[in-house]
Amino acid sequence: MLKYTNDHEWLRMDGDVATIGITPFAQEKLGDLVFVELPGVGMKLSKGTVAATVESVKAASDVYAPVSGDVLAVNEKLTGEPGLVNADPTGDGWLFKMKLADVAELDTLLDERAYSALTTSH
């Protein structure tokens, strides 16, 4: 079960560890990615701060931390293959993993149905 943000990120929970990426809707809107800047492992991120930057041919877009916590891992494969985000945004194209500081923050996120309603109203 994925959780979503209004800013087109997804989270997959495994205990108190979240894997985070951008949604298929977002990657399609952005178009071909050519560079992904990832946070440093060990960085503390507060919810809503810039965690990563994804760059398409046309523009750079910030990816915000959907929750607060520590960065546990980043997807190093994206350095050489940023296009993985386009090809498989919720799988091999994940961006980073975080250990949650406050599990209650998950309640602020959208479920599949709410997110789908958000993207179809666009």
Applying CB under 8 A, does 4 fall inside the site for other proteins? no
What number of chain residues touch other proteins (CB under 8 A)? 27
Please choose, out of 1-9, 68-76, 91-99, 105-113, the segment that lies near other proteins by the rule CB under 8 A: 1-9
Applying CB under 8 A, does 56 fall inside the site for other proteins? yes
When the beta carbons of 30 and 100 are compared against other proteins, the nearer one is 30
> 3, 18, 20, 64: which one contacts other proteins (CB under 8 A)?
64
Would you state the structure tokens that stand for residue 91, as one six-digit string? 């799988």
Contacts to other proteins by CB under 8 A: 7-9, 22, 26, 29-32, 34-35, 37, 53-64, 79, 86, 122
